[in-house]
Structure 1
């Protein structure tokens, strides 16, 4: 098929339908009527010889061909948008734009204080909102521009996304300074196995890999408490004689405020990559690019 055989406006409708999955939402987004959007989809179906989207209880679900076309069409739309708007200036010093970052509760503890301090210096009018990067629709929200950048251990964000390594981090043991093991400078696996533990099951993140690694190595824990997130760990360990296995940067952030001790983990655990992710559609968008560069300057190691 030659490009002259197809109206490129139809690809714009197709691209928005992939993000919105509802004709009414696409119509509102593009400033068109719903019949106009339906007509555009009908024309594209005839041109490509495929249904492209099937109506279900969950909305319009893309066919295999539509999914195959999704990434190259999104990349083409992004390239065109960037070319047409490359002269658009973004001045962080005067901007009042709002950015949305997806991150875990660990990210909020580690990233947001330093990020806000940096923004106060170079972009005092910019507002930051955070949402959980464990959301099941994170890919769609980033494609639609509702989330600008996601930060963390997110192996599910591959096709259609760019990523930039911020740092590698290891897992450590964290416990109160009054814990009997605080007198030791180095823990053994026997120490680890004999202690009571807090287990953090952060669903939807890659942090569950550490539990799988320990299980594969036959390392057992006496789990006394299971919590669904990391944010309460400091408060728990401050008053309870238990150990938690946590990422090192979180441990360092919690140690002084909560009077906690940090020790190297006795298990052989791999380091994990913490990356910043953004959708290909916004790779050349000036504001998104500026924020990515700021995150890199502030947090990237190595």
Structure 2
């Protein structure tokens, strides 16, 4: 079928090439022979008057023109998929939908387990693919390559999102750490050695580190780890301290000897939120899963029940800072 001189089937080929970056793999993904895919590439080059892809080793590297087309082509194909082809009432009990979700180990440990258990009961054919937080998460959302992203609300982009649950940051130390008592001062906190989290190859700072930098403070970081859940293990047998979300600290304390103390500085509450591609806004399956996530988040224990004394002290610190 042609639209203003363009064979619309070529857009499917272009999207596959942008995704796979390999001619053979792209052809296989849309059930074309390799010669047919080569012919499609030639026709795309003729229509757009651009090479679109250059061969570098065994990988197809897109030209700036191809990069500029990629998001619009994927958006158009997704719109057709969701609004024309797949639009039908969603029955969780009969569905075999697979949800791809980007989330941290923190969310995995304190929240997602209950969601998976509930879905197994209500929708046994539904499956999940959980993925680590990547630096290109906004591009993955834009392309519709993932269904949901769960991360701190303050780091989210323009796609629609809604809050799930709150947490607060606390200080953690090895149970045998005798450098601190039941509480300690800001000066002590800043002078002690820290185990801190930085994400990805670019070592992007976690929320607590980002807030401290914005406030003009710099900690003495002696150990850098890739996730909050590793912090307790790195404190064992040392005099170092770490900063991590309260709900996760409580979870880790069940298996690791850990002291949990109030922070001597007010770091804002952490709000974990769920975000989805704009094109999924009215997708029945996405709507059902969003509702499931929100209902399970509402069942989580309030912060004052997770650790009453620390929750009250945090509120006091917030009030003082204000």
TM-score tier by shorter-chain length is 0.7 to 0.9
| CA distance in 2: counterparts of 1:155 and 1:43, whole angstroms | 44
Residue of structure 1 aligned with 2:189, choices 187, 192, 198: 192
**Where does the alignment leave 5 or more consecutive residues of structure 2 unmatched?**
301-322
Residues in 2 aligned to 1:234 and 1:196: alpha-carbon distance in whole angstroms: 14
Contact 2:100/2:130, CA 8 A, preserved across alignment: yes
For residue 232 of structure 1, what is the aligned residue in structure 2?
230
Q: Describe the SS at the equivalent of 2:92.
A: coil
Cα separation, partners in 2 of 1:96 and 1:242, compared to 1, 3 Å: same
Q: Secondary structure at the match of 2:74?
A: helix
Q: Which residue of 1 is the match for residue 150 of structure 2?
A: 151
In structure 1, how many angstroms separate the alpha carbons of the residues matched to 2:75 and 2:98?
24
- State the 1:144 CA deviation: 7.4
Q: Is the 8 A contact 2:141 2:277 kept in 1?
A: no
Match for residue 88 of structure 1?
88
- Give yes or no for contact 2:148–2:275 (8 Å, CA) kept in 1: yes
CA deviation profile, 1:159-188 (whole Å, cap 9, x unmatched): 8x654443565432123455443522xx42
Return the offset for 1:244: 0.8
Q: Could you state the TM-score of these two structures normalised by the residue count of structure 1?
A: 0.77
Matches within 5 A, 1:170-181: 170-176=168-174, 179-180=177-178, 181=180
State the 1:136 CA deviation: 6.8
RMSD of aligned Cα (Å): 3.7
Higher RCO structure, 1 or 2 (CA under 8 Å, sep 6+): 1
- Gap runs ≥5 in structure 1: none
Please give the TM-score of this superposition, normalised by the length of structure 2.
Answer: 0.73
Any idea what the Cα deviations from partners look like across 1:13-37, whole Å, max 9, x if unmatched?
A: 1122111111212211111111211
- Residue aligned with 1:232, SS: helix
Between the aligned partners of 2:54 and 2:96, the Cα distance in structure 1 is 40
Counterpart check, 1:67 vs 2:64: no
Residues 1:28 and 1:295: Cα distance change in structure 2 (over 3 Å): same
Contact 1:102 1:132 in 2 (8 A): yes
Deviations 1:133-168 (A, max 9, x none): 2377995699474x5433225999858x65444356
**Aligned pairs (5 A) from 1:110-259:** 110-134=110-134, 139=139, 143=143, 145=145, 147-153=146-152, 163-167=161-165, 169-176=167-174, 179-180=177-178, 181-184=180-183, 187-203=184-200, 206-208=204-206, 210-214=208-212, 219=217, 221-223=219-221, 225-237=223-235, 240-256=238-254, 258=256
1:225–1:4 Cα change, 3 Å: closer
Q: CA deviation at 1:292?
A: 3.3
Deviates more, 1:76-85 or 1:134-143: 134-143
Tell me: CA distance 1:97–1:45, structure 2 relative to 1, closer, same or farther (3 Å).
same
